[in-house]
């Protein structure tokens, strides 16, 4: 997968990997992402700009030896504008997600913020002219009914629109995922990660400085954990997609919802009501169907980093054979 030149390495045939190992790695990866989100909720007194800065800066420092192991020449790119667009969309998704998890039950916030598969087909239709198939149309309707059940569009939603903030995070996440899929046609994995973490760190640094207050000892631990678990999650996701095709392991992405629900119940005693549980099931079902039957730009994991288009083209061809 990793090349010094601009063209990504051809995908490894699906039979050469280990789908069981890939599924295990993706589940552990999203356990890390769920823990990261929970730490963001626990750090509710830390300004959001500070949280997002440390999340990206620590990930940048941890990944840097790998990202630039062959020298600074690996960072050269002719697609700076698209890197910038992708980073800003992902960054907005991060900020909105951390704002949401501080104010609402962890499971609901994480699910809404990571419902990007429901928005990806709409973005690829509007931006790339990619048609939305019949199964995907049904999946979107199912998923959006689930979103409505979680949002509970009553007068209270107008006075406290935090659930809409979480949903907005998913819209920006979907835009970032489509953008990273376009980048991956010419950019290797390490370059996409390098510019993402670098741009996000630089963009949030002024906010971290402007609203700075010295964290307590426990808050420092939260910030360090957010950065470390972000990096661990992304590394495990990369390793998982080397073992199995997107079509085989993408449904395991929704394990993050289960983990978030368990953490929210154990730590904050959040018990979802029946409408929210029904919404979770429908959003999960809609997201899995959209990911499975959507176009190649729908085959990434939900979250902020995304995955690499050459893998999806190859795996989709193999699955159709």
| pLDDT string in tens for the chain (321-residue length) | 333 344 444 444 444 568 889 889 989 999 999 999 999 999 999 999 999 999 999 999 999 988 888 888 888 999 999 999 999 999 999 999 999 999 999 999 999 998 888 898 999 899 888 888 888 899 999 999 999 999 887 766 767 789 999 999 999 988 988 898 888 888 888 888 899 999 999 999 999 999 999 999 999 999 999 999 999 998 888 888 788 776 677 778 888 999 999 999 999 999 888 988 999 999 989 988 887 787 666 655 444 444 444 344 444 434 444
For residue 299, the model assigns a pLDDT of 56
End-to-end CA distance of the chain: 23
Cα 269 to Cα 103: distance, rounded to the nearest angstrom: 14
Angle formed at CA 143 by CA 260 and CA 128, multiple of 5 degrees: 110
Cβ neighbours around 278 below 10 Å, total:
15
Cα-based distances in Å from 206 to 130, 200, 201 = 38, 11, 9
Beta-carbon contacts of residue 26 (< 8 Å; ≥ 6 apart): 236, 237, 240, 241, 249, 252, 253, 255, 301
Q: Is the dihedral of CA 35, 36, 39, 41 positive or negative?
A: negative
- Cα 134 → chain centroid: 26
pTM, two decimal places: 0.84
Cα 265 to Cα 118: distance, rounded to the nearest angstrom: 26
Task: Using CB atoms within 10 Å of the CB of residue 231, give its burial: 0 to 12 exposed, 13 to 18 middle, 19+ buried.
Answer: buried
For residue 303, the model assigns a pLDDT of 42
Instruction: Report whether 231 contacts 59 (CB < 8 A).
Output: yes
The token pair at 117 is 């598969």
Task: Using CB atoms within 10 Å of the CB of residue 282, give its burial: 0 to 12 exposed, 13 to 18 middle, 19+ buried.
Answer: buried
Instruction: Report whether 289 contacts 295 (CB < 8 A).
Output: no
For residue 295, the model assigns a pLDDT of 67
For residue 158, the model assigns a pLDDT of 66
Cβ neighbours around 154 below 10 Å, total:
8
Cα-based distances in Å from 240 to 195, 243, 254, 276 = 22, 5, 15, 30
For residue 60, the model assigns a pLDDT of 96
């Amino acid at each position: 997968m990793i090349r010094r030149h601009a063209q990504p390495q051809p995908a490894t045939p699906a039979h050469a990997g280990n789908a069981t190992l890939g599924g295990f790695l993706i589940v552990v990866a999203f356990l890390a992402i769920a823990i990261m989100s929970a730490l963001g909720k626990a750090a509710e007194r830390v300004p959001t700009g500070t949280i997002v800065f440390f999340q990206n800066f620590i990930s940048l420092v941890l990944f840097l030896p790998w990202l630039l192991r062959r020298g600074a020449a690996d960072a050269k790119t002719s697609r700076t504008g698209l890197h910038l667009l992708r980073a800003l969309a992902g960054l907005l998704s991060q900020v909105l997600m951390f704002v949401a998890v501080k104010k609402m039950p962890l499971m609901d916030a994480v699910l809404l913020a990571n419902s990007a598969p429901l928005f990806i087909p709409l973005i690829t239709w509007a931006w790339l002219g990619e048609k939305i198939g019949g199964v995907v149309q049904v999946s979107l309707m199912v998923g959006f009914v689930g979103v409505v059940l979680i949002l509970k569009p009553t007068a209270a939603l107008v006075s406290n629109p935090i659930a809409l903030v979480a949903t907005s995070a998913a819209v920006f996440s979907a835009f970032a995922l489509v953008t990273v899929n376009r980048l991956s046609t010419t950019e290797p994995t390490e370059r996409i990660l390098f510019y993402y973490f670098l741009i996000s760190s630089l963009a949030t640094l002024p906010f971290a400085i402007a609203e700075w207050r010295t964290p307590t000892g426990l808050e420092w631990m939260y910030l360090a954990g957010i950065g470390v678990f972000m990096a661990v999650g992304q590394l495990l996701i990369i390793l998982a997609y080397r073992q199995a095709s997107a079509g085989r392991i993408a449904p395991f992405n929704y394990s993050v919802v289960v983990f978030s629900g368990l953490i929210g119940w154990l730590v904050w005693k959040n018990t979802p009501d029946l409408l929210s549980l029904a919404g979770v099931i429908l959003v999960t079902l809609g997201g899995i169907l959209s990911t499975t039957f959507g176009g190649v730009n729908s085959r990434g994991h939900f979250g902020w980093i995304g995955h690499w288009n050459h893998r999806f083209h190859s795996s989709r061809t193999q699955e159709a054979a």
